[in-house]
Amino acid sequence: MSFQGFTPQGLKFLHNLNANNNRDWFAEHREDYLRFVAEPMKQLVMSLTPMMLELDPRVITAPHRVVSRIYRDTRFSNDKTPYRPRVWFAFKREVEYWTETPTYFFQLGEKEYMYGMGVYSASAATMRRFRAMIDDDPEHFRQIIEPVRKSKTFKLETDQYKRRLPCEHSAVIDVWYQSKSIAVLARREPDKTLMSSKLVNMLMERFVLLKPLYDFLWKAVVL
């Protein structure tokens, strides 16, 4: 089946899971999770897959590897609740440490959904190369980020270095230059787009817009 939108039942499930994050409650409502959250997310991934493979033929597209698990791994987390009250997908390449590489993503929570592209935890070597590439041709980088900036949809959400790095570029470029990693996000409250098949086309358009930046980041990656 093609993606037809998420539903109020899906958001209600995530809301109730937030308030009842325990195994007994989840066992009673597991079918709601599968029907209203897991299945629509799988359909969304499958609907986006042809376009994603055009953007990057090397990304993983199998839904069971792209969509997050609802079960939380509590072994190394301070949060010991057994389930995540949100679900997401991440289109990534087959690499050992995908968190250090550019990734397209979408996340659904009860009060907000967000989407975008970035590097979850870029290595210091990658960010040094990223800045060196900017230094080599700042005008080229400005052209890459200009459509993102003008879209007024995405925001650069990253931690900045406390001790500023020497930078001779414009303020528009400097905010990227001072970033410890790169994450370009759009945040929206649940709306009609989320609840319809229009979400697929919207994500396609926005992901295509990020393609030049995605390619630039991959050139900077040091694994």
pLDDT of residue 77: 76
Are 94 and 32 within 8 A, CB to CB?
no
pLDDT of residue 195: 98
pTM: 0.94
The domain limits of the chain are: 8-220
- Neighbouring C-beta atoms of residue 62, cutoff 10 Å: 10
At which residue do the structure tokens 């397209």 appear? 104
Residue 219 backbone zone (phi > 0: left; psi -120 to 50: alpha; other: beta)? alpha
What the block records as the tokens of 183 is 């994450």
Are 66 and 219 within 8 A, CB to CB?
no
- Neighbouring C-beta atoms of residue 134, cutoff 10 Å: 22
3-state helix, strand, coil in the chain (%, to 5): 50, 15, 35
pLDDT truncated to tens, each residue of the chain (223 aa)? 799 999 999 999 999 999 999 999 999 999 999 999 999 999 999 999 999 999 999 999 999 999 999 998 877 777 789 999 999 999 999 999 899 999 999 999 999 999 999 999 999 999 999 999 999 999 999 999 999 999 989 999 999 999 999 999 999 999 999 999 999 999 999 999 999 999 999 999 999 999 999 999 999 999 8
CATH 3.30.930.20 fits 8-220, yes or no: yes
| Separation of alpha carbons 33 and 52, rounded Å | 26
